[in-house]
Amino acid sequence: MSDDSALHLAVNGMSYSVTAEPETPLLYVLRNDLKLKGARFGCGLGLCGACMVVIDGKAVPSCDISVAAAVGKQITTIEGLGSGEKLHRLQSAFIAEQAAQCGYCVSGVIMSAYALLERNPSPRDDEILVALDGNLCRCGTHARILRAVKRAAAELPQ
């Protein structure tokens, strides 16, 4: 791969160096090079939100942005929010509300909600709905997910 050179990425507060062609969708680098499987392939066109990550504070479908375009930016994935030992309040709220069925959409949904709460700690219901409209869910878990996001918002430290 003659046109490759190492690309430097900042993901979840860590620095990574990866070798991939610059136009590679960020999603495949996250999943296959960095082994961060939480962002998931759903459509490849940024229509479903299963691959959502947060880049410089904004929710972005990682299937629809090249790895080169993510260089020099702060990338947060679901793995950067919390782990089994210390969960983010959004993750705790999803457990409290049992807001998943198959769960394939859920990491993307949480990332959209995370970007919202970071910029707007006390969103109105309609603001939550707008923030999640880039995420599709086929199991019909919408009502539970909304409850979970509202619960997390209510628990935000003021």
Partner 1 sequence: MIASRKLPRSLETNPLLGHWLRVNREGTVTVYTGKVEIGQGILTAVVQVAADELDVAIERIRLEPADTRYSPNEGLTSGSRSVEEGVMTVAYAAAEAREILLERGARALGVSLEQLTVSDGVITARSGGSISYWDLADDNLLKRNASGQVPLKPESERRYVGVSLPRRDILRKITGAPAYVQDLDFPGMVYGRVVRPPTYSARLTALHDGEVRALPGVIAVVRDGSFVGVVAEREEQAIRAARRLARLAQWHDVPSLPADMTPAAYLQAQPARSEVISEKSIAAAVPRTELAATYTRPFIAHASMAPSCAVAHLHDGKYQVWSHTQGIYLLRHELARALGVEESTVTVVHAEGAGCFGHNGADDAALDAALLARAVPEKPVHVQWMREDEFAWEPYGPAMVVHTRAALDESGNIVDWHFDVWSYPHVARPGDRDGVNLVAAWHLEQPFAPATPSDPPLPPGGSHRNAIPLYDFPNQRVTNHLVRKSPLRVSALRALGAHANVFAIESFMDELATAAGADPVEFRLRHLRDERARAVIEQVAQACGWEADKRSDGTRGRGIGFARYKNVGCYVAVVVEVEMETVVRVTRAWAAVDVGLAVNPDGVINQIEGGIIQSASMTTREQVAFDRERVTTRNWDDYPILKFSEAPTVQVVLLNRPDQPPVGVGEGATGPTAAAIANAVYAALGARVRDMPLTRERVIAALT
Residue 68 interacting with partner 1 (CB under 8 A): no
Residue 1 interacting with partner 1 (CB under 8 A): yes
Residue 14 interacting with partner 1 (CB under 8 A): no
Residue 129 interacting with partner 1 (CB under 8 A): yes
Residue 143 interacting with partner 1 (CB under 8 A): yes
**Contact by Cβ (8 Å): 100, 108:** no
Nearer to partner 1 (CB atom), residue 91 or residue 153: 91
Q: In this chain, which of 5, 14, 22, 32 binds partner 1, going by CB under 8 A?
A: 32
Residue 151 interacting with partner 1 (CB under 8 A): no
Nearer to partner 1 (CB atom), residue 7 or residue 110: 110
SS3 of the chain: CCCCCEEEEEECCEEEEEECCCCCEHHHHHHHHCCCCCCCCCCCCCCCCCCEEEECCEEEEHHHCEHHHHCCCEEECHHHCCCCCCCCHHHHHHHHCCCCCCCCCHHHHHHHHHHHHHHCCCCCHHHHHHHHCCCCCCCCCHHHHHHHHHHHHHCCCC
User: Which residues sit at the interface with partner 1, rule CB under 8 A?
Assistant: 1, 20-21, 24-25, 28, 31-32, 35-45, 47-48, 50, 77-79, 81-84, 87, 91, 94-95, 98, 100-107, 110, 126, 128-130, 132-133, 135-146
